Structure 1
Amino acid sequence: MKKVLMYSKQICPYCDMAERLLKARGIEHIEKITIDSDPAKRDEMIQRTGLRTVPQIFIGETHIGGYDKLAALDRNGELTALLAGNV
């Protein structure tokens, strides 16, 4: 399984849904960077993604985006392959 990194906030329903989906697909550890407690990490997220909303999810070096894009990958059957490193 590839490394999963997620920029999030302490209170974020979409972050929670993304985490549940990833765990349901076998991800045991998600590196979470909480941007509301560290402004430098918020700036880092914006610089890396060009976006200000959370969650911002990376699988390996691939930027997925937010929960909606993660869920769309799952519906299309692409998420499992991406997590396994087959994409």
Structure 2
Amino acid sequence: MTSVVIYTREYCGFCSRAKALLASKGIIFVEHDATYSSELRQEMISKANGRTTFPQIFINGTHVGGCDDLHALERDGRLDAMLEH
């Protein structure tokens, strides 16, 4: 089963777009809302190799980046293969 984790914050359009793409594919994901949690934000930054922007997305433990990165994987036809594992 595919594991997808996304770190988000409130009022984030990029977060909404990324979640909408995943939802459109029927993907169930774990969302960590770091809006009010400095601990979750630090966890995200550590796991995302220093990236601080929202969202940060992980598929099967692999950091794939943010919303633009997720949509680029979709455009390139590589996202479905990642989600099948």
State the TM-score, normalized to the length of structure 2: 0.93
**Structure 1 portions without partners, runs of 5+:** none
Consecutive aligned runs of 4 or more in structure 1 exceeding 4 Å deviation: none
Shift of 1:36: 1.5
State the TM-score, normalized to the length of structure 1: 0.91
RMSD between aligned residues: 0.9
Aligned residue number for residue 36 of structure 2: 37
Helix, strand or coil: the match of 2:35? coil
5 Å matches for 1:10-25? 10-25=10-25
Q: Percent sequence identity over matched residues?
A: 40
Partner amino acid, structure 2, of 1:72: A
Aligned pair 1:9/2:14, yes or no? no
CA distance in 2, matches of 1:58, 1:48: 9
**Structure 2 portions without partners, runs of 5+:** none
5 Å matches for 1:1-87? 1-27=1-27, 29-49=28-48, 50-85=50-85
Shift of 1:25: 1.6
